[in-house]
Amino acid sequence: MTGPHMLLTILIIAATCIVSYLAFGNGRLMERLILWPPAVERRHEYWRLLSYGLVHADFQHLLFNMITLFFFGRATEWLYTRHLGPFGFLWFYLGGLLVSILPTYLKNRGNPNYRSLGASGAVSAVLFAYILLAPWSMILIFFVPLPAILYAAGFVVWSIYMDRQGADHVNHSAHLWGAAYGLVFTVIMQPSVLTLFVAQLQNPRFGF
């Protein structure tokens, strides 16, 4: 049963799954939605700065992002609804898509060979907002329980390392910018969250 404070999370997941599934078998749709910087720069196709989050490389990529969004979106949506109104979580999520990809876009504006896709940047924003609210909660990483704050530290270090290596096709920069956006946006929206976060760090309480 969908709770009153996770409706937008479910709708975002549904829209992303439907569009991604359609794009898996439709190359034209994929090319229309994916972030291709020259199309934004030369053709002014600005929707790509958001629509890239609706398409994914494969089913595994989609599944990982949507499972993460489901668990942490439903745990945080209430906060943005309370402060920003009924569509608050949607604005937060869309902001995550935009902010997380802008550095990548600016870096590759003239690169016709670069493309990026997937909701990972916005999902990172949601995940790190949750970590800000509950740093000692236990989250499962490949079925291994780990305190959220320790996962966050490892995630940042790993993403910085992999971004500098540039050895894979994952946009680690978007993960980092999305995470930073999630933290900064939430603290600006409700400054008391930062005080609560520090207090919780000083009093570890482990649990799911």
Alpha-carbon distance values, 37 to 31, 93, 206 (Å): 12, 21, 43
Single-letter code of the amino acid located at 171 = N
What ranges do the domains of the chain cover? 7-202
Distance of CA 138 to the CA centre of its chain: 19
Distance CA(208)–CA(198), nearest Å, equals 19
Asked if residue 137 has pLDDT above 50, the reply is yes
Distance CA(192)–CA(196), nearest Å, equals 6
Looking at residue 207, its pLDDT comes to 60
pLDDT in tens, 96-130: 999 999 999 999 998 999 999 999 999 999 999 99
Q: What would the two tokens of residue 199 be?
A: 């207090």
From 57-66, 158-167, 173-182, the region with the lowest mean pLDDT? 158-167
- Quickly list DSSP for 107-138: HTTT-TT--B--SHHHHHHHHHHHHHH-TTBE
Looking at residue 167, its pLDDT comes to 59
Which overall architecture, per CATH, does domain 7-202 show? Up-down Bundle (1.20)
Asked if residue 92 has pLDDT above 90, the reply is yes
| CB atoms inside a 10 Å sphere around CB 136 | 16
SS3 206: coil
